[in-house]
């Protein structure tokens, strides 16, 4: 009896887009050449390449350091005493800065993970870090450990869409320690119960002793992510804003001086709080107009001692 070969996967509508993008970005062919090779019009070839980019099939990473960005990195490091700083080229007015930050943040994480000595890397959650994880190149890093700073459970009990630790671990093949608990517990008693569970206790212990920390920096405006995602309600948000809340890191809200609040959801936030420390690099990854005040406050309070941002945000922070 002869062995049967497994059936080939069915073609998808993105196949042509992927093929066109490969020819354009990797093979270096012009759109006219792509059109000829695929037997389509030049206009369709152009649309296919654009579709591949829009669908995230192609990841572009700039490897050349730009002088203006390097000047901003040096100025930010001098002004705020940063251990590490990267400034990405801006995407222009109206563009989502995450597209600029993600490849730069991924390159920085790859630099950290390329070390031969074992390291513990603690990561937060959110859109920016999720985009960073998607940009990571595959690596083999069994010497390192990746640990989550905060919970990965949404208010309805489902896994958070913006949890990143599993995505990173899949790319780098490192031991990883998720935080199996809500971002914010419903009560102090519930939070303490979660903390008493051995897997959570172990993950928290590892995170508290991390060598490198990567976090997003959230704002506490009218519609902050914590409100949109259902982790706090409008009354709690108003209470915390009245107490001076201007930003949050890993679910912990802080004021304009970078001091954590002692009210509201901070009394039952279930993750590990990122406190000032000169013994490690704590990278805040954020950009955009709404992130300027939270970033400045985090820098003032030394909640972060490293930063990845874009040109526009860097310039605004230096002029603040």
pLDDT value at 313 more than 90: yes
Going by C-alpha positions, the residue among 121, 212, 115, 114 that lies closest to residue 164 is 121
**What pLDDT does 62 receive?**
62
Please report which confidence band the pLDDT of residue 16 belongs to, taking 50, 70 and 90 as the band edges. Answer: confident
Question: Which range, of 46-55, 60-69, 221-230, 249-258, averages the lowest pLDDT?
Answer: 60-69
**What pLDDT does 227 receive?**
83
The residue ranges of every structural domain in the chain are 1-58, 67-319
Token pair 């949050």 is at which residue? 248
pLDDT tens digits, residue range 126-172? 899 999 999 999 999 999 999 999 987 776 777 677 789 999 999 99
- pTM for this structure? 0.82
pLDDT tens digits, residue range 98-127? 989 999 999 999 999 999 999 999 999 989
pLDDT value at 7 more than 60: no
> Same CATH topology for 1-58 and 67-319?
no
Gap between the Cα atoms of 7 and 76, Å rounded: 56
Buried b (16+ CB within 10 A) or exposed e, 78-97: eebebebbbbbebbeeeeeb
Q: Which fold has domain 67-319?
A: Rossmann fold (3.40.50)
Gap between the Cα atoms of 204 and 97, Å rounded: 31
pLDDT value at 5 more than 50: no
Mean pLDDT of 251-271: 93
CA end-to-end span of the chain: 76
Going by C-alpha positions, the residue among 189, 217, 53 that lies closest to residue 128 is 217
pLDDT value at 283 more than 80: yes
Please report which confidence band the pLDDT of residue 65 belongs to, taking 50, 70 and 90 as the band edges. Answer: low
**What pLDDT does 4 receive?**
52
DSSP annotation of 60: -
pLDDT tens digits, residue range 187-237? 899 999 999 999 999 999 999 999 999 999 999 988 888 888 778 889 989
Going by C-alpha positions, the residue among 202, 195, 176 that lies closest to residue 271 is 195
**What pLDDT does 260 receive?**
97
Superfamily of domain 1-58: Homeodomain-like (1.10.10.60)
């Amino acid at each position: 009896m002869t062995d049967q070969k497994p059936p080939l996967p069915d073609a998808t509508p993105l196949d042509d887009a992927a093929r066109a993008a490969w020819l354009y970005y990797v093979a270096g062919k012009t759109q006219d050449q792509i059109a000829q090779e695929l037997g389509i019009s030049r206009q369709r070839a152009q649309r296919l390449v654009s579709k591949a980019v829009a669908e995230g099939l192609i990841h572009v990473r700039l490897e050349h350091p730009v002088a203006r960005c390097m000047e901003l990195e040096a100025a930010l490091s001098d002004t705020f005493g940063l251990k590490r700083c990267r400034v990405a080229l801006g995407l222009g007015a109206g563009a989502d800065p995450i597209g600029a930050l993600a490849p730069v943040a991924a390159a920085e994480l790859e630099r950290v993970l390329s070390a031969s000595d074992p390291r513990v890397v603690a990561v937060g959650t959110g859109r920016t870090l999720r985009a960073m994880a998607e940009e990571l190149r595959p690596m083999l890093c069994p010497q390192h450990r990746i640990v989550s700073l905060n919970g990965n459970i949404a208010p309805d009990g489902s896994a958070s869409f913006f949890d990143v630790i599993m995505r990173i671990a899949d790319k780098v093949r490192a031991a990883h320690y998720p935080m199996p608990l809500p971002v914010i517990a419903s009560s102090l008693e519930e939070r303490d119960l979660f903390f008493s569970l051995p897997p959570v206790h172990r993950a928290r212990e590892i995170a508290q002793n991390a060598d490198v920390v990567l976090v997003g920096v959230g704002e506490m405006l009218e519609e902050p992510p914590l409100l949109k995602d259902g982790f706090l309600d409008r009354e709690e948000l108003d209470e915390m804003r009245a107490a001076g809340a201007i930003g949050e890191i890993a679910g912990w809200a802080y004021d304009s001086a970078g001091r954590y609040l002692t009210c509201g959801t901070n009394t039952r936030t279930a993750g590990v709080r990122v406190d000032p420390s000169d013994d490690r690099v704590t990278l805040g990854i954020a950009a955009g107009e709404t992130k300027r005040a939270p970033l400045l406050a985090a820098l003032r309070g030394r909640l972060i001692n490293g930063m990845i941002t874009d040109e526009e945000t860097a310039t605004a922070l230096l002029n603040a």
